[in-house]
Structure 1
Amino acid sequence: MRLRDLGERALLGKLAPIGYPSGAPLPPGDDAGGVWVEGVAWLLKTDGFLYREVALSGMGPFEVGFRGVAATASDLIAKMGRPLGFTLGLFLPPDLEEAFALGLVEGAAEAAGRLGAFLLGGDTNAGSEVALTVAGFARAEAPLPRRALPGDLVYLAGERWGRTGAAIQAHYQGRDLGAYPRIREAAFYPLPRLELLSLKGLLRGSLDSSDGLAETLWQLAELGVRVELEGLPLYPDVLAFAGSERAARDLVLYGGEEFEAVLVVPPEGEAQVLARAEAVGLPLFRAGRVGEGEGVFLRGEPLPRRGYDHFRP
C-alpha cells in the first residue's frame, strides 16, 4: 500500500512498536519515547521538516530554527520532561549563504536557552533544499502518557489556540498581520510552557497539540473514550481576524502548530490543578470532559477528524 493511501497515523501505528523496549516509561507512538535509568525516565524526541513548509511570510532562518526546537520541546514537556539538550541535523544547498545557516542555529540556540537547555552539536549535510531535524532529550521523574477515564475533564493549556492557525491562514492568503501582534508572536516564537511541569502528579494524561486540536482529541478518543467538547477559547484578535465565530472556531480546531498541551484532569483534582496553574501563571481553559463511548463531539455534534498528514494533500 502506498503511503498516501495508508496515511501518516496508520503508518506510525505500524512503525512505532518496531524495536521499542518493553516496560518503557511511555507506550510506543506517544509524543516521545524513553527508557528508565536508575528510576528516572530519560525521554527522547526527534522532529524533522522542510524549511519551505514551515517558513511563514516574514519568517527568516532565525524564526525557523527557533520553531524547530520549540516543536521538539513541546512533545517532551507535554510528557512532563524537562528538556536538557538538543541537536540539529541540517540539510543545506552548497550555494546557500553562510549567514542563513548561522541564523538557523542561532534561532535554535535561543529557543533552547529560554527553556534552560543547550545545543549539543549535530550534523551538516548537502541537500537540494534546506531541511532540519531536531532531536531533544529530557529528564522526567513521572512521565505522563496519553491516558483518560470517563469522568475526567479536558483542559487546554496556553493561549495560542487559533492564533497559530490564523497566522498560517494569513500566509496562504497573503494577509498582513501588522494589526494582530499576538497572532504573529504566537506563530513566530511558539515557546512551549515549562510551567506545565508544575502540574506533575496532578494530571491523568497529556498530549501535545501540534497536529491540530481536533486531531489531538481524536487521538485521545482512540484510547476508547468519548470526548465531549463544551466550549472553545475564542480570543478577540482571532475573532477579528476570522470575521465570524464559526471561522474562528475552525482556526482553533484545525489550525495546528500551537505547541500547547491538551490536559486530562481527574475531577477530584481540578481545584488543585487550577490553583497550581494560577500560582505559576499558566493559562488554562476548560474545554470539556471525557465520557464512555467513542468519538469526539462538540456540543453533542460529531466533530470531523481533520489534521495535518504528511502523506496526504
Structure 2
Amino acid sequence: MRLKDLGERALLRKLAPLGYPLDAPLPPGDDAGGVWLGEEALFLKVDGFRYRDVALRGMGPFEVGFRGVAATASDLLCKMGRPLGFALGLFLPPEAEEELALGLVRGAAEAAGRLGAFLLGGDTNAGEEAALVVAGFAEAKRPLPRQALPGDLLYLAGDRWGRLGAAIFAHYQGVGLEAFPAIREAAHYPLPRLGLLALEGLLRGSLDSSDGLAETLWQLAELGVRVELEALPLYPDVVALAGSEERALAFVLYGGEEFEAVLVVPPERGEAVEARAREAGLPLFRAGRVVEGEGVYLQGVPVPRKGYDHFRP
C-alpha cells in the first residue's frame, strides 16, 4: 500500500513494535522510546523536518534550530523525562552559506541550555535542501505512558494553545506578528515546559500535542475511552488575529506545533495538580474529562479527526 493511502498514524503502528523491548518503560508508539537502567528509565526521541516546512515569516536559522530541539524535548518532558542532551543531523546544500549551519546549531544550543541540557555534536550531510534531525535523551524516575480511565480529568498545560495556529495562519496570509508579541514568541521560541516535572507522581497519563490538539485527543480516545471537552482556551490575541471565535477555536483544535502537553489526571488528584502547577509557574487549563464510550466531543458536538500527516496533503 502506498504511504499516501496508508497514512502516517497507520504506518507508525506497523513500525513501532519492530525490535522494541518487551519490558520497556513505555509502550511502542508512545511519544518516546526507552529502556530501564537500574531503577530509572532512559528515553530517546528523534525528530526531523525540512527547513522550509517550519520556517514561518520572520524566522531564521536560529529560530529553526531552536524549534528542532523544542520539538524533541516536548516528547521527552511529557513522559516525565528530564532532558540530558541532544545531537543534530544537518542536511545542507553545498551552495549554502556557513551562517545557515551556524545559526541552526546556535539556536539548538540555546534551546538545550534553557532546558538544563547540552548539545553533544552530531553529523553534517550534503542535501538538496536544508533539513534537520534532532535526537534527544532524558532520564525519568517515573515514566508516564499514555493512560486514561473513565472519570479522569483532562488538563491542557501551557499557554500556546491556538497561538501556533494563529502564527501559521498569519504566515500564509502575509501578516506580520509585530502587534501580537505573545503569538510571535510562541511561534519562534516554543520552549517546552520543565514545570511538567513538578507534577511527577500525580498524573495518570500525558501526551505531546505537536500534531494538533484534536489529533492528540483522538489518540487518547484510541485507548478505549470518550473525551468530553467542556471548554477550550481562547486567548484575546488569538481571537483578534483570527477575526472570529470560530476560526480561533479551529486554531486551538487543529493548529499543531504547540509543543505543549495534554494531561490526564485522576479526579481525586485534581486539586493537588492545580496547586503544584501554580507553585511551578505552569499554566494549566481544565478542559474536560474522560468518560466511557468512544470519540472526541466538544460540548456534546463531535470533533472531526484532523491533524498533520506527513504523507497526506
TM-score range, shorter chain: over 0.9
Look up the equivalent residue of 1:200 and give its one-letter code.
E
Summarize deviations over 1:199-241 as a string: whole Å, max 9, x none.
0000000000000000000000000000000000000100111
Provide the residue aligned with 1:254 in structure 2: 254
Runs of 4+ in 1 over 3 A off after TM superposition: none
* TM-score normalised by L of structure 1: 1.00
* TM-score normalised by L of structure 2: 1.00
| Distance in 1 separating the partners of 2:115 and 2:215 | 27
Does structure 1 residue 275 correspond to structure 2 residue 264? no
Provide the residue aligned with 1:96 in structure 2: 96
Provide the residue aligned with 2:212 in structure 1: 212
| Distance in 2 separating the partners of 1:241 and 1:264 | 30
Provide the residue aligned with 1:156 in structure 2: 156
Deviation of the 1:99 alpha carbon = 1.1
| Distance in 1 separating the partners of 2:127 and 2:89 | 11
Deviation of the 1:188 alpha carbon = 0.2
Look up the equivalent residue of 1:71 and give its one-letter code.
A
Percent identical pairs in the alignment equals 79
Taking only aligned residues, the RMSD between alpha carbons, in angstroms, comes to: 0.4
Summarize deviations over 1:26-48 as a string: whole Å, max 9, x none.
00000000000111100000000
Q: How does 1:1-313 map to 2 (within 5 A)?
A: 1-313=1-313
Look up the equivalent residue of 2:286 and give its one-letter code.
R
3-state SS, counterpart of residue 251 of structure 1 = helix
| Distance in 1 separating the partners of 2:278 and 2:57 | 35
| Distance in 1 separating the partners of 2:204 and 2:158 | 18
Deviation of the 1:270 alpha carbon = 0.5
| Distance in 1 separating the partners of 2:143 and 2:308 | 26
Look up the equivalent residue of 1:67 and give its one-letter code.
R
3-state SS, counterpart of residue 76 of structure 2 = helix
3-state SS, counterpart of residue 23 of structure 2 = coil
Deviation of the 1:100 alpha carbon = 1.2
| Distance in 2 separating the partners of 1:100 and 1:307 | 30
Look up the equivalent residue of 1:238 and give its one-letter code.
V
Deviation of the 1:191 alpha carbon = 0.2
3-state SS, counterpart of residue 72 of structure 1 = helix
Deviation of the 1:178 alpha carbon = 1.1
Look up the equivalent residue of 1:149 and give its one-letter code.
L
| Distance in 2 separating the partners of 1:178 and 1:156 | 27
Question: Unpaired runs of 5+ in structure 1?
Answer: none
| Distance in 1 separating the partners of 2:227 and 2:90 | 39
Look up the equivalent residue of 1:52 and give its one-letter code.
R
Deviation of the 1:170 alpha carbon = 0.7
Deviation of the 1:92 alpha carbon = 0.5
| Distance in 1 separating the partners of 2:176 and 2:73 | 29
| Distance in 2 separating the partners of 1:248 and 1:49 | 26
| Distance in 1 separating the partners of 2:176 and 2:69 | 26
User: Number of residues paired by the alignment?
Assistant: 313
Summarize deviations over 1:74-110 as a string: whole Å, max 9, x none.
0000000000000000000111101111000000000
Deviation of the 1:243 alpha carbon = 1.0
Question: Unpaired runs of 5+ in structure 2?
Answer: none
Look up the equivalent residue of 1:43 and give its one-letter code.
F
| Distance in 2 separating the partners of 1:246 and 1:94 | 45
| Distance in 1 separating the partners of 2:123 and 2:177 | 35
3-state SS, counterpart of residue 288 of structure 1 = strand
Look up the equivalent residue of 2:16 and give its one-letter code.
A
Summarize deviations over 1:243-299 as a string: whole Å, max 9, x none.
111111000000000000000010000111011001111110000100001100010
3-state SS, counterpart of residue 129 of structure 1 = coil
3-state SS, counterpart of residue 240 of structure 1 = helix
| Distance in 2 separating the partners of 1:146 and 1:100 | 37
| Distance in 1 separating the partners of 2:245 and 2:131 | 36
3-state SS, counterpart of residue 268 of structure 2 = helix
Look up the equivalent residue of 2:137 and give its one-letter code.
F
